[in-house]
Chain A
Amino acid sequence: MTQTTMRPTLTSVLTPHARIDLFRQMLRIRRIEEEIARRYAEQQMRCPVHLSVGQEAAAVGACCVLRATDQIVSTHRCHGHYLAKGGSLNAMIAELHGRVTGCCSGRGGSMHLFDAAAGVLASVPIVGGNVPLAVGAALAAKQRRTNDVAVAFFGDGALEEGVVHESANLAATHGLPMVFFLENNRYSVYTPLDQRQPARPIVAFADAHGMPARSVDGNDVLSVREAMIHAVARARRGDGPSLVVAETYRFLEHCGPADDDALGYRPAGELARWQARCPITSFEAYLRELGELEDAIIEAFKTTIAAEIKLAFADALAAPVPAPETAQEGVYA
């Protein structure tokens, strides 16, 4: 069975400091996206935004086991992955504002975030289109013997794309060092999973490609981290790719800053049930129970993060916009 092919080991011991840092990282992503949502109506960020509020544990749990030279590829909903992997906040906020100081020099907007120094290889807005790029990063790592791994973030919708199955087949056939990281947030825009896929465990996808897989509570950062430790270790050993499925939920609308529960596409009470399982508040409660987290620490985090965000927005707004005549530059390398 798929679920039992990855054995749990005792490699996942965390210090209290490291645990608190996972909390801080999730809180930071949440605060950044909340600020984007709050200021979106000012119309300074004139590009679509796909916020990952509610899905922070997946991003942080997955990226916390990676090193800077490991490569990730992300999707239209890339803010959390980018930040969790260490992507520059200032370059991201500037990109959302269409400034030359943006990570894409203002040419990509929020769906193309990348940061070469942090190992965020690319983000791609076409569903599933990012996944083979990670296969290629894994191929390059194998050819160049770097011992790096690649992680493809994708959602439940991408599983309907042929290219994701092609990528899994390629990675498995060539034994490439990568992890397929699937965030199942249950909706493709407004269309629920049961209208798009047959009733079967989504994790069974891996069986068809001869990959080990594990399905975890994607709102529990420690579970995500644990699954990733095994998957990444397997890839680094040269034993090939794995699948990790993180079961999670998007709190806000597909695209844009708002709550969209009033649209009625989510069953009544579903959003509230998931909000009660918020990855940040539940982890906070757990850490408080352990006696590792208290108000003073949280307040200090909030203060630091707020200052960082304020600076990023101020820098972005102060930065020049790209000169119109540069639009035709850089088509060819």
Chain B
Amino acid sequence: MPELARALEPRIISAAEAIREATVAAMERDERVFVMGEGATDPKGIFGTTSGLRERFGAHRVLEMPIAENGWTGMAIGAALCGQRPILIHQRVEFSLLAMEQLVNNAAKIHYVSGGRHRAPLVIRLIVGRGWGQGPAHSQSLEALFAHVPGLKVVMPSSAADAKGLLLAAVADDSPVVFIEHRWMHYASGHVDPEPRAVALDGPKRVREGDRATVVATSYMTLEALQAAEALAAAGCAVDLFDLRVLRPLDVGAITASVRKTGRLITVDTGHATYGIGAEVCARVTSAAFEDLRAAPVRIGLPEHPTPSARSLAEGYYPRSPQIAVAVGRAAGVSATVLEEVCAGLARERDAMPLDIPHPSFKGPF
């Protein structure tokens, strides 16, 4: 039966395409859903994630925005209070900093402060840049800023399937959801369910199983950590790898259970390590499972300086799979010689690829 064969065949699309699919499905399902952003209707359609939406749903549901982030974030909140369900898009996280006032003072609090009477069902899509010399104010991964605020939900997908499912859940959620897309994650391809099925915003996903250590990563760093984990597994050191996915509300239950088994915890942030997501995960798990830890938790994240533009300066700025493998291997007691081989293998693979672009097919600019 060729139909059945087709149905069982994996349907491989990129995360960017999956985000567009989720948006279309959400808009078809619910006429209160609309999209707004600077460039939402431009020819490039925000890295393809909004392409064709205006033609399909009309100008009243796909709104081009002036360069006035705090203003249109407040506008979205006001519309949400009146029953609409806006999806806001910032092509770079940094522009959303201009809207922090509305997000933190109004969106995050209005349900609470109204004694539960008001709802602000917004989705704020924030895209994190990386590479191609984008420099200090076009490449920040500031999820910890948003995750600090009670009342906001913060989600970071790392796969195409989750990008679609989590975005559908975010749009259906009655609280404001900050949906952070790493630009390099947009290129992550995989099987995506053609049906619009939401993936619950209920916590981390175990993407690899093992008992030697517990690794927790966010967004694109899950992909780097997965490479490290696979190389280590081939060398006989299998680890539990969690894709954190939902940064707030944070549920570390499964991670804690894993650490009780492995005794070792390594976190890998897309952002700065200091005051970062990994710091919170380490603190919570250490408090809950101190007696089961056999080594001090390790945080991997960005160093204590802004992102420089020049390729030479950016060298070493982003943690990569060999660095992750070293940290995990050391914690798990892998011998230095084995670890050297693992890293050499990963480095050979990595060195074949340029450091400042997500994939050799990429021709720049972002």
B249 touches which of A102, A165, A332 (Cβ 8 Å) = A332
The CA of A143 and the CA of B57, in the complex, are separated in Å by 13
Say yes or no: A126-B71 contact (C-beta < 8 A), given A137-B79, A333-B119.
Answer: no
B312 at the interface (CB under 8 A from A): no
On whether the beta carbons of B75 and A132 are closer than 8 Å, the reply is: yes
Contact string against A for B residues 109-135, beta-carbon threshold 8 Å, 1 for contact and 0 otherwise = 011111111111100000000000000
| Partner among A104, A135, A165 whose Cβ is within 8 Å of the Cβ of B114 | A104
Which of A112, A124, A169, A332 is the one whose CB lies under 8 Å from B153?
A332
Residues of B within 8 A of A106 (CB): 115
Q: How many residues of A contact B (CB 8 A)?
A: 46
| Cross-chain contact B78 with A137 (CB below 8 angstroms) | yes
Of A114-122, A226-234, A257-265, the one touching chain B:
A114-122
Report chain B residues within 8 Å CB of A142.
Answer: 60
Whether A139 sits at the interface, judged by CB under 8 Å, is: yes
Identify which of A131, A140, A332 contacts B79 (C-beta below 8 A).
A140
| B364 contacts the other chain (CB 8 A) | no
Instruction: Check A163 for interface membership: any CB of B closer than 8 A.
Output: yes
Query: In the complex, A331 Cα to B174 Cα: how many Å?
Result: 11
Most chain B beta carbons < 10 A, residue from A71, A103, A132? A132
Closest residue of chain B to A109, judged by CB? B113
Complexed CA–CA distance, A135 and B34 (Å) = 16
Q: List the B side residues contacting A121 at CB < 8 Å.
A: 78, 81-82
Contact A132-B72, Cβ < 8 Å, known A143-B84, A166-B66, A330-B116:
yes
A167 within 8 A of B: yes
Nearest chain A CB to B308 CB, angstrom units: 30
A238 at the interface (CB under 8 A from B): no
Query: Once the chains are docked, how many angstroms separate the CA of A136 from the CA of B77?
Result: 7
Tell which of B63, B73, B110, B151 has the most Cβ of chain A within 10 Å: B110
A163–B74 CB distance below 8 A: yes
One digit per residue, 1 when the CB lies within 8 angstroms of any chain B CB and 0 when it does not, for chain A 321-333 equals: 0000000011111
A170 and B73 contact, CB distance less than 8 A: no
**In the assembly, what is the distance between CA of A269 and CA of B76, in Å?**
45
Are A140 and B78 in touch, CB under 8 angstroms?
Answer: yes
Among B80, B113, B175, point to the contact of A107 (Cβ < 8 A).
Answer: B113
Q: Hey, what's the 0/1 contact readout for B82-123 against A, CB within 8 Å counting as 1?
A: 111000000000000000011001100011111111111100
Q: CB-CB < 8 A to B101: which residues of A?
A: 126, 129, 163
Which residue of chain B has its CB nearest to the CB of A108? Answer: B113
B150 within 8 A of partner (CB): yes
Contact of B70 among A122, A132, A134, A138 (CB under 8 A): A132
Q: How far is the CA of A331 from the CA of B116 in the complex (A)?
A: 8
The residue that B72 contacts in the complex, of A107, A129, A166, with Cβ under 8 A, is A166
The residue of chain B having its C-beta at the shortest distance from the C-beta of A176 within the complex is B75
Is A105's CB under 8 angstroms from B115's CB? yes
Give 15 CB contacts A-B under 8 Å: A112-B114, A114-B117, A126-B101, A132-B102, A136-B74, A136-B77, A136-B78, A143-B61, A163-B101, A166-B70, A167-B71, A169-B68, A331-B150, A333-B120, A333-B173
Chain B residues in contact with chain A, CB under 8 A? 34, 60-61, 63, 65-66, 68, 70-84, 101-102, 105-106, 110-121, 150-151, 153, 173-175, 249
Q: Which A residues contact B (CB, under 8 angstroms)?
A: 71, 73, 102-108, 112, 114, 116, 121-122, 124, 126, 129, 131-144, 150, 162-163, 165-167, 169-170, 173-174, 329-333
